[in-house]
Structure 1
């Protein structure tokens, strides 16, 4: 299911609840809301993106011109009368957005997922009201948008940003190197991963071992803290595997 479909799903459900009109399923408004919550819970726990339209029996409306995570769209979601339903739908949208990004940037997507799960946990523990959790999720949506523009801010490609994030750049010991040097390390590692990560390298231990040596030498060359290298190498290799997997499927 495309991310754009999530917008259409929001629109379709909102129209259904506001107008109280049938969708051809013959179900009541409360039944539809219950069905949607169940589908959202299943979608979030699944590794795959669920076709929520088909599961809920809702037709896909025309959504030409709308941008996912736009301020306009998030404001529309926040303004839904059914706040509980808005919450469930927002959870679904953010979960799908993060799943999509996990294919290209494992570090950033992990951080965003932790933010999402943490906010939901606080809500479930009655530390946040429905209105407060919706605002929290909207803030996370804005963090996703901010992450998407990180490459432009840093002057790096998306792949380079992924390896830049893998270098533990927020660690105080690593920050001593300076941002410009960290960006150069990210660029060099990206180039070397591309040159050495073949389509089947993830299943060849020798290829993985070779790349590990290359990454370690690169980090040492640039003066990366020795006591931080093991974790950085592990993360870089995971990111390289994700890159190779993404390349084979696209």
Structure 2
């Protein structure tokens, strides 16, 4: 429709403003996709985001990137990253309900990003692969039945090997295959002095983790997130790389 003359200048300013916002987003995210995943949690990147002019846009950028990062990592490790998902949701809910302002929410989001980065590093320092780490965390969460950390790592490596040995395509859709995997997991745990009967929740967590990691076997459950949607207030933009 035709814009009345008095509104032309305002409309042009809005368009220019949104173009600048979009340019900032594209610049930040194009840097992000050219670098390793963890770069979005780096101090340099967090500092760059903090310098974005519009407070609501700063919050939206960090929220979106954190949400995607956590979502991808949850597909690899339920135990380690579930708490981060819950904290992020709680923080954003408080912001939307106006319980906290943009400055406070940015402070909380950056804190979550830093702690997520440290959690990832702590996992890497154990010397385990990502899939091994997922089962290490699952076993560490339950009853402490192995005193030596090295012995626990050995068990984890055998556990991954045992589970994979019993997998087949579309295995999560066949109860017979799932039962076979569960039985093999129980046998292995018993050899290390663990009682699956007394602690079925640990076996359930291991199976849940296996279904997340190996759902599309032989492809691991690792996902690349390449799209972003931002609402600047004046329009919704979809960015795909």
TM-score, normalised to structure 1, is 0.68
Hey, which of these two has a bigger chunk of strand by percent?
2
Report the structure number with the largest CA radius of gyration: 2
Summarize the Cα distance change of 1:164–1:129 in structure 2 as closer, same or farther, 3 Å threshold. same
**Corresponding residue of 2:9:** none
1:18-37 equivalence runs, <5 A? 27=15, 29=17
Give, in whole Å, the separation in 1 of the partners of 2:119 and 2:58. Answer: 24
Summarize the Cα distance change of 1:28–1:224 in structure 2 as closer, same or farther, 3 Å threshold. farther
**Corresponding residue of 1:179:** 149
**Corresponding residue of 1:208:** 178
TM-score, normalised to structure 2, is 0.70
Give, in whole Å, the separation in 2 of the partners of 1:196 and 1:73. Answer: 42
**Corresponding residue of 1:117:** 89
Shift of 1:108: 2.3
Shift of 1:113: 0.7
Give, in whole Å, the separation in 2 of the partners of 1:146 and 1:189. Answer: 26
Taking only aligned residues, the RMSD between alpha carbons, in angstroms, comes to 3.2
Q: Which runs of 5+ in 2 are unaligned?
A: 1-11, 221-241
**Corresponding residue of 2:236:** none
Q: Which stretch shifts more, 224-233 or 77-86?
A: 224-233
After superposition, what is the alpha-carbon deviation per residue over 1:177-208, rounded to whole angstroms, capped at 9, x for unaligned?
44333323222211111111222211121110
Give, in whole Å, the separation in 1 of the partners of 2:87 and 2:145. Answer: 23
The higher relative CO (CA closer than 8 Å, separation ≥ 6) is in: 2
After superposition, what is the alpha-carbon deviation per residue over 1:4-61, rounded to whole angstroms, capped at 9, x for unaligned?
xxxxxxxxxxxxxxxxxx8xxx83637997xxxxxxxxxxxxxxxxxxxxxx799944
**Corresponding residue of 2:108:** 136
- State the SS of the aligned residue for 2:62: helix
Give, in whole Å, the separation in 2 of the partners of 1:213 and 1:108. Answer: 25
Summarize the Cα distance change of 1:108–1:118 in structure 2 as closer, same or farther, 3 Å threshold. same
1:92-103 equivalence runs, <5 A? 92-103=64-75
Give, in whole Å, the separation in 2 of the partners of 1:59 and 1:157. Answer: 33
Shift of 1:78: 1.8
1:235-250 equivalence runs, <5 A? 235-248=205-218
Q: 1:106 aligns with which of 78, 85, 93?
A: 78
Are 1:217 and 2:187 matched, yes or no? Answer: yes
Q: Which runs of 5+ in 1 are unaligned?
A: 1-21, 34-55
